[in-house]
A and B are shown apart, each in its own frame.
Chain A
Amino acid sequence: QKEVEQNSGPLSVPEGAIASLNCTYSDRGSQSFFWYRQYSGKSPELIMFIYSNGDKEDGRFTAQLNKASQYVSLLIRDSQPSDSATYLCAVTGGSYIPTFGRGTSLIVHP
């Protein structure tokens, strides 16, 4: 059973701080890694994807992938109250079927 693990949180950070969200996965053959943001009552919104080891930056977001350690993380710089949401990690492996984690709830307080 392929698993994707996330701390459910909530992770609480002050406005302007860096929020660090982590995700571990069990399938060593995993190839594609995605971060989605989901506001309460809404559908997931794709914010980052990464395929290769290392860092990928897009605006205030940085995705970090370490395949040897089987983890992927998302850093949000200069966190804003509007970033308060659940962040879902999704991983696909050789079967190409995405497996989602349960999500981490992030609260950014003013």
Chain B
Amino acid sequence: DAGVTQSPTHLIKTRGQHVTLRCSPISGHKSVSWYQQVLGQGPQFIFQYYEKEERGRGNFPDRFSARQFPNYSSELNVNALLLGDSALYLCASSSGRVPSYEQYFGPGTRLTVT
């Protein structure tokens, strides 16, 4: 079975631009969570979606938004990019309704903002 997939793997953007990151969960999983990981830190929770509804939101500004599609894939959007948004963005898939269930991470998208 395929694991969690994410695209693109790497991305370079300029300050002020917009970016869209994509994620497909493990087959049968209905929950997708998004995390930001900066170098030397653990992942920070951004959002969780289950059955297309937002179930959890971390402490991130409104420039960050996400949605989940009927096939359970998900997009993370970030507007008005800042240098500090440079990070590894991780998508995690889970069978559970809340983020406390076991989560399986995709390979991540490395975003560099210049």
CB interface residues, B 93-108, toward A, < 8 Å? 98-108
Interface size class of A (residues with CB under 8 A): 20 to 34
The answer for the CA separation of A14 and B103 in the assembled complex, in Å, is 31
Q: Which of A4, A34, A97 contacts B56 (CB 8 A)?
A: A97
Any A CB within 8 A of the CB of B90:
yes
Any B CB within 8 A of the CB of A22:
no
Task: Please indicate which of the listed interface residues A98, A100, A102 has the most CB atoms of chain B within 10 Å of its own CB.
Answer: A98
| Smallest CB gap from B56: residue in A | A97
Any B CB within 8 A of the CB of A74:
no
- Main SS class of interface, B: loop
The answer for the CA separation of A97 and B43 in the assembled complex, in Å, is 12
CB-defined contacts of B101 to chain A, threshold 8 Å:
32
On whether A90 and B42 interact (CB within 8 A), knowing A44-B90, A97-B58, the answer reads yes
| Smallest CB gap from A103: residue in B | B42
Pairwise interchain contact A92-B40, C-beta atoms closer than 8 A: no
Pairwise interchain contact B45-A101, C-beta atoms closer than 8 A: no
Q: Which of B41, B98, B103 contacts A46 (CB 8 A)?
A: B103
Pairwise interchain contact B90-A88, C-beta atoms closer than 8 A: no
Pairwise interchain contact B104-A100, C-beta atoms closer than 8 A: no
Mask, B45-67, CB within 8 Å of A = 1, is 10010000001101000000000
| Smallest CB gap from B90: residue in A | A43
CB interface residues, B 61-109, toward A, < 8 Å? 88, 90, 98-108
On whether A102 and B107 interact (CB within 8 A), knowing A96-B56, A96-B99, the answer reads no
Any B CB within 8 A of the CB of A49:
yes
Q: Which residues of B contact A (CB under 8 A)?
A: 40-45, 48, 55-56, 58, 88, 90, 98-108
Other 10 A-B pairs with CB < 8 A, given A43-B88, A88-B43: A31-B100, A34-B102, A36-B105, A44-B43, A46-B102, A46-B105, A49-B102, A95-B56, A96-B56, A101-B42
Q: Which residues of A contact B (CB under 8 A)?
A: 4, 31-32, 34, 36, 42-46, 49, 88, 90, 92, 95-103
A–B complex contacts, Cβ < 8 Å, 5 sampled = A32-B101, A46-B105, A98-B103, A100-B42, A102-B42
